[in-house]
Amino acid sequence: MQKYDMIVIGMGPAGMVVSGMASQMGMKILGVDAKKVGGECLNNGCIPSKSLLKMANLKHAADHLEGKGLELAGEVKVLNPLGVVNQQLRMLTGDNLLKKFHLVDLIIKEGYGRFVDDHTVEVAGVKYTADLIFIATGTEPFIPPIPGLDQVPVITNLNVFEERPVPERLLIIGGGAIGSEMAQAFNRLGSEVVLAQMDAHLLPNGDEEAARVLETAFDREGIKVLNSTGITKVAKGKKGIEMHTDQGVFYGDEILVATGRKPVLEPLNLEAAGIEYTKKGITVDEFNRTSKKHIYAVGDCNGQWLLSHAAMHQGMVSLMQAMSGAEDQKYNRDNYPVPWSVFTDPEVAQVGLTEAQAKARGIDCFVVKEEYKTYARAITDGATQGFVKVITDLKGTVYGATIVGELASELIQEWTMIMSNRLTMMNVLMMQHSFPTLGLLNKNLSETWMMRVAQQGDLRKML
Ligand SMILES: Cc1cc2nc3c(=O)[nH]c(=O)nc-3n(C[C@H](O)[C@H](O)[C@H](O)COP(=O)(O)OP(=O)(O)OC[C@H]3O[C@@H](n4cnc5c(N)ncnc54)[C@H](O)[C@@H]3O)c2cc1C
């Protein structure tokens, strides 16, 4: 039986970070993936979705030149955007990617990694053993039990980026990040989009006010969003795919299901290793250790966060924890707030608590808000929709930040830095921000906070 220092099962963002770093540190690593190196993120998720959005946004910009002193002499034709997505993916994957893991023994596309016992993993009938094992097996699309959904060709993130003409009519079930991003991408490329969901607003885990800004933008672009809507049946009829809802029947050429994710645990045979799990994912402590201390579960498979950067961060801190052997708080996953961003136009980003969550927890706090439309650069950029909203208090503690607007995904980094380092509004206020970046909206907001504090008390106390 071949012996390794570490076996990494799953080579998505989490597995790539763990195996890449550990091999560079001189450890003998086996990396296993049943499909492709890169996981969902590179092959069917973050990267192709942003690539498609880029092309959709270019078309949208070209179609909306009025008021900018420019005119397009002709029409922008949609040729083959999904072909370009695939071309870019080929460039980013294959041998170019594998070369980065030349220090790792890779077993790719030969089968699932399966526990034989808590130190032994079998792949395609061959057994491998290690002192340390990292599980990084991610998730797969969850398909809800809607009658008839199994009778029609369903699109998920696994096939939505396949090369084909852009569908004329696209039905989407689910208004989370994937549903929202794909609604806008396909709509801007020419599809007529109807998005239906049970939840009361888009991006249901986020701030409602921010979602309403996004919904207004979707409405202006002609994307039909049906919130709080039950889908009773899906069928194939003469007019294409039928989506029967309690708000009527809608028709499409394709139906994209984006209703959440579920972990891929069955092939792992976790029972053989004595590893505990629930429906949500593999059970872990704050260091991402499973019920067996030498086996870690990092990334989406532990169900904590379904985000690439969180998966990579967990991989890194857990590897450091495993190497040091110390239960030091600096390796505690929960000490690092996780931002998230949705790359629609306007973008939506969040870190920490939303306004509603802070209220529900009874935190003694208030909201400071800065609208994009108050800032000259946003006005000249035509980026006036949206706001930065921070949940704070008189001491300047930052409990959370919500941003909806242009480059929200970049602006949120500053608030993540503040929260991760337990800094305050004062640090944002005193930091020089380059003018006229959109990031200066953060600084403007901190000035509003300072004036509010000054009105209520003694400015000298604050400093
Ligand atoms: C359309 C879409 C867009 C997204 N956009 C973003 C975004 O903009 N930003 C962001 O942060 N996140 C985004 N995500 C989420 C992101 O893709 C995931 O959070 C990330 O891929 C999780 O990484 P991971 O390493 O935990 O697992 P995965 O990327 O899921 O990788 C797991 C790997 O394990 C392999 N595997 C599974 N079981 C076994 C086994 N038993 N043996 C061997 N191999 C196995 C799989 O083949 C897979 O390659 C998006 C997701 C989707 C679907």
Please indicate whether residue 170, judged by its CB atom, sits closer than 6 Å to ligand 1. Answer: no
Question: Within its chain, how far is the Cα of 430 from the centroid?
Answer: 31
Residue 9's beta-bridge partner residues? 32, 135
Q: Which amino acid appears at position 335 of this protein?
A: N
**Ligand 1 test: best mutation among 7, 32, 40, most atoms within 8 Å of CB?**
40
Class level of CATH domain 149-259: alpha beta
Q: Which two tokens stand for residue 240?
A: 């294409």
**Gap from CA of 256 to ligand 1 centroid (Å):** 18
463 residues of the chain, pLDDT tens digit each = 899 999 999 999 999 999 999 999 999 999 999 999 999 999 999 999 999 999 999 999 999 999 999 999 999 999 999 999 999 999 999 888 999 999 999 999 999 999 999 999 999 999 999 999 999 999 999 999 999 999 999 999 999 999 999 999 999 999 999 999 999 999 999 999 999 999 999 999 999 999 999 999 999 999 999 999 999 999 999 999 999 999 999 999 999 999 999 999 999 999 999 999 999 999 999 999 999 999 999 999 999 999 999 999 999 999 999 999 999 999 999 999 999 999 999 999 999 999 999 999 999 999 999 999 999 999 999 999 999 999 999 999 999 999 999 999 999 999 999 999 999 999 999 999 999 999 999 999 999 999 999 988 767 766 5
Kindly report the CATH class assigned to 2-38+93-140+262-335: alpha beta
CA of 65 to the centre of ligand 1 (A): 37
> Is the model's pTM score more than 0.95?
yes
Per-residue confidence (pLDDT) for residue 459, from 0 to 100: 72
Sequential DSSP letters for 81-100: HHHHHHHHHHHHSHHHHHHT
Comparing CA positions, the residue from 182, 190, 167, 166 lying closest to residue 225 is 182
Distance separating alpha carbons of residues 109 and 228, to the nearest angstrom: 41
- Nearest CA, atom 20, ligand 1: 308
- Burial code (b: 16+ CB inside 10 Å, e: under 16) for 262-278 equals ebbbeebbbeebebebe
Contact 414, 408 (CB under 8 A): no
Q: Is the CB of 412 under 6 A from ligand 1?
A: no
Q: Which CATH class is domain 346-462?
A: alpha beta
Q: Which residue's CA is the closest to the ligand 1 atom numbered 38?
A: 137
pLDDT of residue 23: 98
Q: Give the per-residue pLDDT at 355.
A: 96
Q: What gap in Å lies between CA 67 and CA 71, rounded to an integer? A: 9
pLDDT of residue 457: 73
Tell me if 308 CB under 6 Å of ligand 1.
yes
pLDDT score for 458 = 65
The DSSP string of 114-144 is EEEETTEEEETTEEEEEEEEEE---EEE---
Q: Which of 7, 11, 41 to mutate to test the pocket of ligand 1 (most atoms within 8 A of CB)?
A: 41
Q: Is 13 in the pocket of ligand 1 (CB under 6 A)?
A: yes
**Tokens (6 digits) for 16:** 């790539």
pLDDT tens-digit map of 146-203: 999 999 999 999 999 999 999 999 999 999 999 999 999 999 999 999 999 999 999 9
Cβ partners under 8 Å of residue 75, min gap 6: none
Is the Cα torsion angle 222, 223, 227, 229 positive or negative in sign?
Answer: positive
Both tokens of residue 321?
A: 């924890």
Pocket residue to mutate for ligand 1, from 43, 104, 282, 308, most atoms within 8 A of Cβ:
308
| pLDDT tens track for 225-237 | 999 999 999 999 9
Strands 154-155 and 254-257: parallel
2-38+93-140+262-335 and 346-462 share one fold: no
Phi/psi at 227 (5° precision): -85, 165
Strand residue runs (E) in 142-247? 154-155, 169-173, 192-196, 224-226, 231-237, 240-245
Task: Determine the atom of ligand 1 nearest the C-alpha atom of 342.
Answer: 8
CA of 204 to the centre of ligand 1 (A): 21
Task: Return the percent helix, strand and coil in the chain, to nearest 5.
Answer: 35, 25, 40
User: Domain ranges in the chain?
Assistant: 2-38+93-140+262-335, 149-259, 346-462
What's residue 461's pLDDT? Answer: 67
